[in-house]
């Protein structure tokens, strides 16, 4: 049995993914906390362990397995580090910002290209209409910046100011007045926030690329393992077919043997009836001849001739017809039928007997890359192997009044080989006198040619 890999050990058997906030049941199995909560919420009492089916009448109080959580986190980091990414692949760069001077028009004349945007006036101006902001002291406090496209979307809907800051805690763009509401946050400029998020997205894209590669390998592995399972099942079915064919052949041979014995007995008795028939036919013919001669003698008119003929016929004796008792050897027939009936009932009882299925033993390969089954074999593995060996050493035994059959995993076929062809009923042993009487009765029932064989 293949050992389970570390990836399989750190995988939840419910969601088939690495543990997320793992918890441990009293029976020692680990699951994602959310997965187990959903399972037990649907299942209700009694609560069963999804892996070993252990029952709990009251819902156990489960706590986060911090050690296992740390192991899973380190394993995932190590897996990410060892994922082979092609050298020629790099995360795509973010598209460059469009040229503002070629797209932003002056909000005053709506014709010339704007060169600056006033953050107070919330408008963009060309060279000509920007002159008041440059010459008049009244606009000295109006900050100017390169032209900003789509000012309506950049405005803060609450304060009508340009949103030029980003709050990482709330993941939103804010204006300077919004800083009052974000005192505990750490807002940064839009350029810095864009650079940070770009780096994070590239790192996430790398992780997703490795996950896609792992999923592709897992898909191939699942299909390959599915084909191996099908091949193994086909081999087992072919083996079963051969076993049943052999058992059918043994049963057919047993039927032929029993039928042959009955036919031989039938032939023996039938030959006796043929002999009796011929004797009776001859006797009838002789009586018929005497009858005709008597009738002929009674027609004689001459007394001398009649007396001479009648005296001879008077001395001819005839006896009544006697048919001897001839029948089948009922002990033999009964034994054959009883053996067949016993075998039939024992086979029926064995076939109808509910057999406990063996616990599925899943190898470590079967749970690789997210393909773990819902029920994993409980550890240690050596204990399961010992239990299987112990179960194989204890075949089931069935005893009937006239015969004892032993059936195990493959003992049905062996039992048919040893006892199925014979159909000899081992009845309870009679005493010595009755046994001798039965043997003598069977011996005397044989025909004369058969008896001469023992002379």
What pLDDT is stored for residue 408 in this prediction? 42
Average pLDDT over residues 409-426: 46
Is residue 151 a contact partner of residue 104, using CB atoms and an 8 Å limit? no
Band (187; pLDDT cuts 50, 70, 90): confident
Examine the pLDDT at 57 and tell me if it is beyond 80: yes
Residue 402 has pLDDT above 70, yes or no: no
DSSP assignment of 287-342 equals HHHHHHHHHHHTT---HHHHHHHHHHHHT--------------HHHHHHHHHHHHH
Task: Pick the more confident residue, 242 or 106.
Answer: 242
* 81, burial (CB in 10 Å: exposed 0-12, middle 13-18, buried 19+): exposed
Q: Where are the beta strands (DSSP E) in 126-234?
A: 144-145, 165-167, 172-174, 188-189
Residue 175 near residue 193 (C-beta atoms within 8 A):
no
SS3 169: coil
pLDDT, average across residues 299-312: 79
Lowest mean pLDDT among 96-105, 143-152, 251-260, 301-310: 96-105
For 44-202, strand residue ranges (E) read: 47-48, 55-56, 116-118, 123-125, 144-145, 165-167, 172-174, 188-189
Locate tokens 């399989």: which residue? Answer: 8
**Domains in the chain with CATH codes:** 6-82 (3.30.40.10), 338-452 (no CATH)
Residue 262: what pLDDT?
Answer: 93
Residue 398's pLDDT band, with cuts at 50, 70 and 90, is: very low
Residue pair 90/117 in contact (Cβ under 8 Å)? The answer is: no
How far, in Å, CA of 414 to CA of 406, rounded?
Answer: 9
Contact by Cβ (8 Å): 318, 287: yes
- Confidence class for position 256, pLDDT limits 50, 70, 90: very high
Q: Place 386 in a pLDDT band, splitting at 50, 70 and 90.
A: very low
Q: Which one, of 444, 228, 237, 202, lies nearest residue 325 by Cα?
A: 444
pLDDT grade for 338, boundaries at 50, 70 and 90: very high
User: Which pairs count as long-range contacts for 309-314, CB under 8 Å and 24+ apart, including other chains?
Assistant: none
Cβ within 8 Å of residue 327, ≥6 positions away: 269
Rg from Cα positions in the chain: 52
Nearest in space to 332 (alpha carbons), one of 429, 269, 265, 268: 265
Give the predicted TM-score (pTM) of the model: 0.41
Is it the case that residue 30 has pLDDT exceeding 70? yes
pLDDT tens, 98-117? 544 457 888 888 888 888 88
For residue 347, what are the contacts with CB-CB under 8 A and spacing of at least 6? 412
């Amino acid at each position: 049995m293949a050992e389970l890999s570390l990836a399989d050990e750190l995988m939840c058997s419910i969601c088939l993914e690495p543990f997320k906030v793992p918890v441990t049941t009293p029976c020692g199995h680990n699951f994602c906390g959310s997965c187990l909560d959903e399972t037990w919420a649907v299942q209700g009492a009694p609560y069963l362990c999804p892996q070993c089916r252990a029952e709990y009448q009251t819902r156990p109080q489960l706590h986060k397995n911090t050690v296992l959580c740390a192991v899973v986190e380190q394993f995932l980091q190590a897996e990410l580090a060892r994922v082979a990414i092609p050298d020629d692949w790099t995360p795509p760069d973010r598209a460059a910002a469009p040229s503002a001077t070629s797209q932003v028009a002056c909000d005053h004349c709506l014709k010339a290209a704007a060169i600056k945007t006033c953050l107070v006036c919330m408008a963009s101006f060309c060279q000509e209409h920007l002159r008041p902001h440059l010459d008049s002291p009244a606009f000295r406090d109006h900050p100017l910046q390169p032209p900003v496209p789509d000012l309506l979307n950049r405005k803060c809907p609450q304060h009508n100011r340009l949103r030029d800051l980003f709050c990482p805690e709330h993941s939103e763009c804010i204006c300077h007045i919004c800083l009052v509401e974000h005192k505990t946050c750490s807002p940064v400029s839009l350029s810095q926030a864009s650079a940070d998020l770009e780096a994070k997205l590239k790192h996430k894209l790398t992780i997703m690329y490795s996950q896609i590669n792992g999923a592709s390998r897992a898909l191939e592995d699942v299909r390959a393992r599915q084909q191996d399972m099908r091949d193994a099942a086909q081999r087992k079915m072919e083996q079963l077919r051969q076993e049943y064919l052999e058992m059918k052949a043994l049963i057919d041979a047993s039927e032929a043997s029993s039928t042959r014995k009955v036919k031989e007995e039938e032939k023996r008795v039938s030959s006796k009836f043929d002999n009796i028939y011929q004797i009776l036919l001859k006797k009838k013919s002789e009586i018929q001849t005497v009858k005709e001669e008597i009738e002929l003698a009674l027609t004689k008119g001459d007394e001398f001739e009649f007396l001479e003929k009648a005296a001879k016929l008077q001395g001819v004796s005839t006896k009544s017809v006697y048919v001897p008792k001839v029948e089948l050897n009922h002990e033999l027939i009964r034994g054959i039928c009883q053996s067949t009936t016993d075998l039939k009932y024992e086979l029926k009882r064995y076939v109808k007997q509910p057999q406990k299925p063996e616990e599925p033993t899943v190898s470590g390969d079967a749970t690789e890359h997210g393909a773990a089954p819902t029920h994993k074999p409980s550890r240690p593995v050596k204990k399961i192997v010992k239990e299987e060996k112990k179960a194989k050493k204890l075949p089931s035994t069935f005893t009937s009044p006239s015969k004892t059959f032993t059936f195990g995993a493959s003992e049905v076929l062996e039992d048919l080989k040893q006892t199925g062809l014979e159909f000899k009923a081992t009845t309870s042993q009679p005493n010595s006198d009755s046994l001798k009487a039965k043997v003598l009765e069977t011996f005397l029932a044989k025909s004369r040619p058969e008896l001469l064989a023992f002379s």
